[in-house]
Structure 1
């Protein structure tokens, strides 16, 4: 799980109300929330458009591991390290499960000593939670025309690049959150960066670049390296060490791009369905809530014989729908009006 995460606990409060009394890996409340406009040599502080009061800076991987233990205690079987590679259908072309990929195969295609063949995992209901642009989810969305039936537009994407650093003690401010826009991206390229101070002197730093950038020579990775050389960022990282790094795509389509998430034999949840709140830069809470709604619909489908369409109906009545509806115009406006004004030309000279 790759995420620089400022976690909104709304869904977790509903799922595990007493999580604060347990040993949950959610220990660093947001202590400050800043927003910078970067030019090549300056960082201009602007009023923050974010409201992270009551949120936490976390490692999403640690939270997922903690929750997986909770699930296993309830009898859930978890198979980490095995990717679902194929959708299984029954004789009526209804989804009946997934098949995992073979593991332990060398580059030349030969089987290593550690080879394990893929297995078929079959069930009456299959819930797909692959994250942004999941291969099986996209296959289902296309084959079953879910975007058309849900009246959703095409999805749009961004690429997020992230590193976790261990920085010097004197520079570490647990709970500090900083978001930036501007340099090194030009004003025709939508994107921004983040710096999140976790515990244990750790800092999550990253850059997000919308993949509709016009410059064919732009490299998000190279822009990230430039970003780390900015005077306000370089001084923070000097003397530190990179612990982890990675990259991941993000959904940016928002409310307008949500497909019908229900298909014969199952449903799509989380970022696979596009539930990221773009202006908040958050999707963990909506993903968790969508999973809860899908689980409730699945239970009724298995026990009472009701339709999984109940998930789609309840989704539209939930706070997920209200939240994404309120944010529906954010990304389209940025797409049309993200341009460089004379004042911004003046700022870029500093």
Structure 2
């Protein structure tokens, strides 16, 4: 079984440290209201200007935070601490928050970037007292703003977004729920659980049209992972059996086979390496809750291992994958 070793943690940290302050190439999603909206990435985003785009930079900070927590003796720990001391300051967080507050940016990075920022805040809160508390406290105003936006947005979302990329509702709610539990944000927790039930609790006999050619998330597995978090154990067991009734027989096969990538220099086509990793994350979490005698447990463990191996082989083939794939590898390995 794949595990996160000290050596692999160090390697992951080196990859992330190599791009969190790499400003170019950069991809941004910006609505222009005036010529004054034009600015360089580091001027728009005092903290999260690297790693090709805002959300990838945010989840790279999450990766570094997680590694610092579980491997505090990492050779890269000093570099991570110096980075956070320089970047996660109150003044720079104000600059990030100001960007969100300008007209026309109510939906900036919704929901994917919002969810990763909350996941970062959650991880910072798990660090030992000391510097970690200062970093968490500095980031908290931005976390509270995005948590509030989630709370207001979800009741307006009449139907879940079941895409295999950034707009996927189930993925965002899974990450945001971690924050809501840790932060004691009852309003966010309640709206996530209520909307998850509304969106997904009646789904059954899954017959997915996936993977798509540019997916890095599996709508079916992400939905199952979210419902595992939302439903009590016995209720989830009933739901899961109804949702994937033929899983023990290896069906639907399209959810169980690792995928290949035809061109890793193409950022969208390279998403499929991430699909292998995110599927592995979901399947490992789901299998962990199944009884040892359940045939689906061994199946999911085996399939997850195959997906993980397929993804781990290509973390640094091209910068289009390098700037984000390690995060999804860590999601799968850390659990």
| Both structures adopt the same fold (TM-score exceeding 0.5) | no
Bigger relative contact order, structure 1 or 2, given CA contacts below 8 A and separation 6+?
1
| Higher-strand-fraction structure | 1
Which protein is bigger by CA-based radius of gyration? 1
| Higher-helix-fraction structure | 2
